[in-house]
Every structure is written in C-alpha cells, then in structure tokens.
Homo-oligomer: A and B are copies of this chain.
C-alpha cells in the first residue's frame, strides 16, 4: 500500500512498452507502477517514477523488487519458474502465478495441457530426436513448423522445416523443440480476456491479427466478418483456458481460423499486442484490466467505443528521411483523429517503435488509415 493514499503498489517485472502503457493506466487508478528494468533507458523506465534496476533472472533482484509491492506481475514471460515459486513461498502475491505461467513459458507443457483439456490444437509432437520429427512430418506432410519449447516470441523460435536434412541441422543446435503441423489457415484471430483471483472473467470481442515475418502488424476489432458462433467459441475457449490454468490478469489466446474451425496457436499471460486497440477502442483498456485483475478489483466493461477499430504497429524503417518528430507532425495534420502511441525506443529496422489506432464506423476505412499512418511513421513516406 502507498502510505499516503492507501492505494496499492503493483510491481511489473520488465520495462518494455507493455509496462509503459500499464503505467499510464496505473496513473488513472491513483497508482504509480513500479517496474523492474534491466537498464534506465528501457521504454517504461523512461516514464515511470518508481524504477528498480535489476535482472529478472536473479532471485535477489526479484525479491528486493517485490518487497513493498502488493502484487508482482509481468511484462514478459521470461522469469524462471523456480524464482516465481520462491517469491510466492515468501508470501508475495504473484499474478499470474508460476503454475499458470509455465504454460506460457513452455510450449510443450502448453500443448500437453490444452490437449488434455480436449481443446482444439494443431497436430503436434514432442521431439526427443530426429526420428520423432521425421515420423511426424511423414504423417502430417512436409513442411512442418518446428518451435523452440521456451523463449520464442515475435517470430523468433519458429522455423519451417521442409526436409529431414533441415530437421537434422536444427536439432544439431541443441534447442529443445516441438513440431507442429503447418496449418492451412484462413487467417489468424486473437481472443483476449482477463480473469481475477476471485474468478471473474471478462472478454473483449475477438479480433483478427495480421502477421508479417512472424510479427503482429495489424489488429482489426472486432474481427471482420467472423461468424457469430466462431466468435462465441473463441471467447469461451479463452475464458476456459484462463479458468482451467488459473490465469490471473490478461490472457491472450492466438488462434488459427481454418476451414474446419478454430485451433489454438499461442498463449500470452499479460497485456498483448493484439489488445493495444483497447486503449481507445474499449471502455476498459487491457492495461487497466490487467491491473484490476491482479489487484482482484471487479473487472471493467469491455464494451467497444466505436463500431470498428484498427491498430497498426509502427516498425523501425530504413535509416534516413525525416526525423520522428517531423513524422508525427505531418501525421497529425493528415489524420487528426488518429491516436499515436510511441514507446520511446531508439529506431532500429524492424523494431516495434509504437502503434497507431484508428476508430470509426467503416472497418475498411479505419484499417486503411491505420496502415497508411503506421507505414508513414515507419518509413517517412506516404505509401
């Protein structure tokens, strides 16, 4: 508790853009997010008052950070599970807890658990050696997707494998892998929900996500043209997973829409790129909802504020061209109703530097605006 206001102190491990935007939400709730940052120039550390420098893989650093926090939560999934269990054993509230978070940390455990729950997942196999992968691929058809069991994100840790020779080369790196069928998909969707320790669940409308090189570049809310029964199924899948796995906080479930129905791709137990549109597009943003959930406040309304919302990520473009300040200036003139979010990061090609959100009545128009504005911020040229 903050001594003067009587309001809680939430600590977030990690100081990237998710922590940065969570801090904005914390301010409204009378709080100030405490962040554990690896360096003082990380995205959230640049804007938060309560910054602790430390290493999220060091238990002493984590324990020092947790002291004085009412709840510890996460901007990423990379904290070792044994440290999380030790924090919880020491009496700290850790949300999501280690027994939930391991399913976001370990793809093999996630696939096993979702399968045991009878939920729809792509055909997959554990890979103890080359034989496992080749046998699986000969059954489902080459190529297959090999995925690192731990540590992958934003397209990292995922490799298409077309031949036994490629598989052997990948296995030689020693990275623990699983293999999955390459799913013939119509498109990707995401169901984002939140769950509190009390057990309350809340779901935003299912969105369509568009990836490029494995990185989310567009999110369309609600998913255009999604059959109502699939929307209900996706929301129920996500709420079921949140409840069965004991997730506390925001849970994002990445989904494949196929000709035969939905398949669960990935889980993230934190605010997620597919929920950035909620800052302006929903009555409660995913960042505020995550805080409400980990504090066991009643969850906020997930109602939409506009019929159609589109988010596009701003990725670092080639060097040169007008500076970012000049780009924001021109963007403001061209799209006065567009909302810009920049993360305070130094530009680097392909890096997520920010996002933009457009809201309106016509899904195609808001998508076109968001994509064009993000491309302009990225590249400095109107495309």
Contacts and interface: CB of A to CB of B under 8 A. Distances in A.
B297 A345 contact: no
A6 interface: yes
Contacts of A328: 7, 29-30, 297
Contacts of A32: 46-47, 344
Which residue among A21, A47, A284 has the maximum number of chain B CB atoms within 10 Å of its CB?
A: A47
A37 to B, nearest CB: 11
Q: DSSP class of A's interface residues: helix, strand, loop or mixed?
A: loop
A337 B299 CA distance: 9
A300 interface: yes
Given A5-B345, A298-B333, A325-B6, A340 B28 contact: yes
Interface in A1-28: 1-2, 4-8, 20-21, 23-24, 26-28
Interface in A297-321: 297-301, 303, 305-306
Contacts of A325: 1, 6-8
A268 interface: no
B30 A24 contact: no
Contact of A49 (B8, B46, B342, B359): B46
Number of copies: 2
A104 B63 CA distance: 50
A71 interface: no
B301 A5 contact: no
B299 A336 contact: yes
A306 B303 contact: no
A51 interface: yes
Contacts of A332: 292, 297-300
A365 B350 CA distance: 47
A337 B297 contact: no
A176 B30 CA distance: 38
A150 interface: no
14 contacts: A4-B344, A4-B346, A5-B344, A6-B324, A8-B325, A26-B47, A47-B48, A47-B49, A298-B329, A300-B332, A300-B337, A301-B336, A305-B306, A305-B359
Given A5-B345, A23-B47, A300-B337, 11 more contacts: A5-B324, A5-B342, A6-B325, A7-B342, A21-B27, A24-B27, A45-B49, A46-B49, A298-B336, A299-B332, A300-B336
